[in-house]
Amino acid sequence: MVSLKANCKVETQDYFMKILLLWYVTEVLIKTRFDSFLGIAKEVFDTCQSYLVLALLLIEIIFFQRYTKREIMNIGLFGFLLVIVTVRSNFSNELLSFTLFAVASKKADIKRVIRMIYRALQILIPTIVILSLFGVLDNYVIYREGGLQRYSLGFSHPNTLGQYIYTLMGCHFYLRFDRLKWWDYILALGAAIFCYVVPNSQTAIVLLFLLVAVTLVYKLSQTISKEKIVLYSLLIGAFACNAISVILSNIDLSKYPVLSLFDNAISSRFSICNHDIDVCGLTWFGQEVNVLSTEVFSKLGISQAHVVVTLDNSYIAILLKYGIVMFAVFSALFLYNMYVQIQKQRSAIVILLFLTAVYGVTERSLFMLSINIFLLSFADVFYGHREIGPCSVVPEHRKVRLRIRKRIARI
């Protein structure tokens, strides 16, 4: 009977993994300088793959998974709110996509998921860079003030390259978390230097340095049995990222010299968000917000000071696009997810979720699964104490070994 259940879980998990891999690879390719795929315009290809993945996910959710009454209530309440805000935002589907994958990942082993994404990025990033170097893909170049050049190396934007480099290193640290060596930290610092020299992506640089620093602090805290203090401090830090973003985006920073300097250091993110809030206003259940990229502005010759722009802060993006209610619910669930991971002693996930919260201060992609694959841990919010994949089926002889080890540890 155990063997039959295990085989059932493996088949269900494999189905989900194939859907996720199909979606993730196409999402990465769509964020490159390709104009078309197999003769199909990028926009059309993106729409077609979105509907295909949606259908496959619904099959997984409806036919391949079983739910308790509590799980149905959790998913139903959040889903009802999500449908309302998605419709009111004119079908802005980033939050919907992330939620569907989280719900469909009930039986997925997150370690196996991250290993798959890690291997995919190990292939995709070099391939895209090589195609750019050989002229197959355009190397989009942006100039910072002072003439500093930023290269995308085939990706849609230099920041996109930086984001995927960080995701690659985040997966690397997660998979090696219990056996990290000095060269792992050197590798992350090397990635940070690359992100400075090539895409000059400030967010990626900061996140990579934080990844090294926070991991080192956590490892040191383990030696004095104070790791829980570090993890709860990260939870508080994630809350601070959210609160600071909302507070500073709702005041005129020009009146406060110190805060203005901080804002200037992160490319006036909060000042821009303050302007966007003034233009759009706040709603309870969301609204349509037209977001234009920096590249579009430069092509059209439009001043960013006169229109709603990039919304490069995830918290304000959620607040404006999806409304006050969804912002409050999402924020609470994000923090609760970190708390759940602390209780389950998944320290690596807690660290990566904290970095995701930091990421949300300067980018609007916090809730986009293609950038932050670690958000799949949200499945624990919907399902609580769930069994994960075949690894949850422990053979009898291993149970005996575990009991012996526990008894020896008590002596």
Tens-place pLDDT, residues 139-195: 999 988 778 899 999 999 999 999 999 999 999 999 999 999 999 999 999 999 999
Residue 25 lies in a domain: no
Task: Tell me the C-alpha to C-alpha distance, in Å, between residue 279 and each of 270, 298, 307.
Answer: 14, 21, 8
Q: Tell me which residue of 28, 96, 112 sits closest to 57, measured CA to CA.
A: 96
* pLDDT tens profile 331-345: 999 999 999 999 999
Residue 162 lies in a domain: no
Q: One-letter amino acid identity for 7?
A: N
More confident residue, 35 or 314: 314
* pLDDT tens profile 246-262: 999 999 888 888 999 98
Domain encompassing residue 333: 226-382
Residue 404's DSSP bridge partners are: none
Predicted confidence (pLDDT) at residue 385 exceeds the cutoff of 70: no
| Structure confidence at residue 278 (pLDDT) | 85
* pLDDT tens profile 47-86: 888 889 999 999 999 998 999 999 999 999 999 999 999 9
- The pLDDT confidence band at residue 293, using thresholds 50, 70 and 90, is low
- The pLDDT confidence band at residue 392, using thresholds 50, 70 and 90, is very low
- The pLDDT confidence band at residue 308, using thresholds 50, 70 and 90, is low
- The pLDDT confidence band at residue 394, using thresholds 50, 70 and 90, is very low
| Structure confidence at residue 335 (pLDDT) | 97
Give the whole-angstrom CA distance, residue 166 versus residue 204: 6
Report residue 399 CA to chain centroid gap.
Answer: 36
Across the chain, mean pLDDT equals 86
- The pLDDT confidence band at residue 311, using thresholds 50, 70 and 90, is confident
Residue 250 lies in a domain: yes
Residue 296 lies in a domain: yes
The owner of tokens 């992506």 is: 201
118-132, 209-223, 366-380: the lowest-pLDDT one:
366-380
Predicted confidence (pLDDT) at residue 298 exceeds the cutoff of 70: no
The residue-averaged pLDDT of 348-360 equals: 96
Instruction: Give me the percent of the chain exceeding a pLDDT of 70.
Output: 86
Residue 396 lies in a domain: no
Domain tally for the chain? Answer: 1
Q: Are 277 and 250 in contact (CB under 8 A)?
A: yes
Residue 402 lies in a domain: no
Residue 388 lies in a domain: no
β pairing state of 149-151 and 36-37: unpaired
Residue 36's DSSP bridge partners are: 41
Residue 88 lies in a domain: no
Side-chain half-sphere exposure of 307, counting CA atoms within 13 A:
15
| Structure confidence at residue 360 (pLDDT) | 93
Q: Are 258 and 299 in contact (CB under 8 A)?
A: no
Q: Are 327 and 283 in contact (CB under 8 A)?
A: no
